[in-house]
């Protein structure tokens, strides 16, 4: 049925579908009892929540989107970035005006880049790209400001793993030298003995994700200022092994104590 509607409605389908969905939600909340609304939510979850976690994830959401939007979401899910250092490099490439946000044209260029990676660029027109960018904004722009901040873009551009989410960093057990060395090597991508530039920003992004669901460039900048002020012992604007050890030990102690 959805494929039939897509064929009939053309490129406007995904945008119109999302607008209709929002309109339906507002109307349902106005006239339907809380119990009936919950029944409706349960019905949607039963249809699309394959892993039964009470959420609609990207792979599940992609089932109800038109072909290209579906493909773009699944491509990113199946091809995650190796680390947040790579995320920061992509961010710098596409945040061309250095505003701290990925805006409409920048998002369109990012989606064009994705299509080029999988040899599908020539099958999509500029008009379709505009529709795809609008769809992604509708899906990931949580605060509805018409652009993607760091935490929103992170949902569209997933990383294989936030290494700092591993149990060893959240337990009361003391971190070992090997634990710290693994973290240092993860972020010191060029192997020059310090975590700096995109490497440091990637580390800060992973830290932010542990304490904030929504964060933007200003939040990341403030986190960087505090970290360097407290832990950059030689004041070179970088983090070396000794300084990272201090950061991780403090972080581990704070989490294990529940602070």
Strands (E), the chain: none
Confidence label for 86 from pLDDT (cuts 50, 70 and 90): very high
Q: Mean pLDDT across the stretch 196-211?
A: 93
191 versus 75: the higher-pLDDT residue is 191
Do 223 and 207 lie in a common domain?
Answer: yes
Do 169 and 152 lie in a common domain?
Answer: no
Residue 9 burial class via C-beta count within 10 angstroms: exposed 0-12, middle 13-18, buried 19 and up = middle
Q: Cα torsion for 29, 153, 65, 24, to the nearest 10°?
A: 10
Do 143 and 177 lie in a common domain?
Answer: no
Do 148 and 203 lie in a common domain?
Answer: no
User: Which pLDDT value is given to residue 79?
Assistant: 79
Do 143 and 215 lie in a common domain?
Answer: no
Q: Does residue 195 sit in helix, strand or coil?
A: strand
User: Which pLDDT value is given to residue 10?
Assistant: 41
What are the tokens at 165?
A: 């989410």
Do 129 and 212 lie in a common domain?
Answer: no
Average pLDDT, the chain: 78
Q: Kindly report, residue by residue over 137-180, the tens digit of the pLDDT.
A: 888 898 999 999 999 999 888 898 888 888 777 665 677 889 88
Please tell me the distance from the alpha carbon of residue 122 to that of residue 167, in angstroms, as a whole number: 45
DSSP secondary-structure letter at 175? Answer: P
Do 150 and 38 lie in a common domain?
Answer: yes
Do 150 and 184 lie in a common domain?
Answer: no
Please tell me the distance from the alpha carbon of residue 72 to that of residue 70, in angstroms, as a whole number: 6
Q: Mean pLDDT across the stretch 9-23?
A: 47
68 versus 180: the higher-pLDDT residue is 180
Do 122 and 206 lie in a common domain?
Answer: no
- Lowest-confidence pick of 45-54, 78-87, 144-153: 45-54
User: Which residue range(s) make up the domain with 44?
Assistant: 2-156
Number of folded domains in the chain?
2
Confidence label for 57 from pLDDT (cuts 50, 70 and 90): low
Confidence label for 237 from pLDDT (cuts 50, 70 and 90): very high
Task: Show which of 156, 172, 189 is a domain's final residue.
Answer: 156
Q: Mean pLDDT across the stretch 114-138?
A: 79
Do 176 and 148 lie in a common domain?
Answer: no
Do 55 and 148 lie in a common domain?
Answer: yes
pLDDT at 194 over 70: yes
Q: Mean pLDDT across the stretch 185-191?
A: 94
Roughly how many angstroms between the first and final C-alpha of the chain, as a whole number?
51
Task: Show which of 156, 184, 203 is a domain's final residue.
Answer: 156
* CB neighbours of residue 219 within 10 Å: 18
Q: Mean pLDDT across the stretch 236-243?
A: 95
User: Which pLDDT value is given to residue 164?
Assistant: 84
Do 34 and 85 lie in a common domain?
Answer: yes
For helices 241-256 and 177-187, the axis angle rounded to 10 degrees is: 110
Q: Mean pLDDT across the stretch 195-218?
A: 93
pLDDT at 39 over 80: no
Task: Show which of 156, 178, 213 is a domain's final residue.
Answer: 156
Angle at 12 between CA 9 and CA 15, to 5 degrees: 125
- Lowest-confidence pick of 113-122, 156-165, 195-204, 212-221: 113-122
pLDDT at 244 over 70: yes
């Amino acid at each position: 049925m959805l494929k039939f509607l897509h064929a009939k409605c053309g490129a406007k389908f995904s945008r119109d579908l999302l607008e209709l969905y929002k309109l339906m939600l507002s109307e349902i909340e106005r006239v339907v009892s809380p119990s009936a609304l919950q029944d409706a939510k349960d019905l949607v979850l039963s249809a699309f929540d394959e892993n039964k976690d009470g959420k609609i994830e990207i792979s599940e959401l992609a089932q109800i989107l038109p072909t290209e939007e579906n493909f773009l979401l699944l491509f990113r899910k199946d091809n995650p970035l190796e680390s947040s250092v790579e995320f920061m490099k992509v961010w710098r490439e596409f945040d061309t005006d250095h505003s701290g946000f990925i805006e409409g044209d920048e998002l369109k260029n990012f989606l064009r880049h994705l299509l080029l990676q999988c040899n599908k660029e020539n099958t999509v027109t500029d008009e379709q790209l505009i529709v795809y960018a609008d769809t992604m904004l509708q899906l990931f722009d949580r605060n509805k400001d018409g652009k993607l901040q760091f935490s929103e873009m992170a949902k569209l551009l997933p990383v294989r793993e936030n290494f700092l989410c591993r149990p060893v960093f959240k337990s009361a057990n003391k971190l070992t030298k090997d634990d710290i060395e693994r973290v240092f090597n993860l972020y010191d991508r060029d192997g020059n003995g310090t975590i700096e530039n995109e490497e440091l920003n990637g580390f800060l992004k992973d830290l932010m994700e542990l304490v904030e669901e929504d964060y933007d460039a200003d939040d990341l900048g403030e986190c960087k200022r505090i970290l360097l002020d407290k832990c950059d012992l030689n004041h070179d604007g970088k983090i070396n092994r000794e300084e990272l050890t201090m950061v991780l030990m403090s972080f581990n102690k704070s989490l294990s104590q529940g602070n």
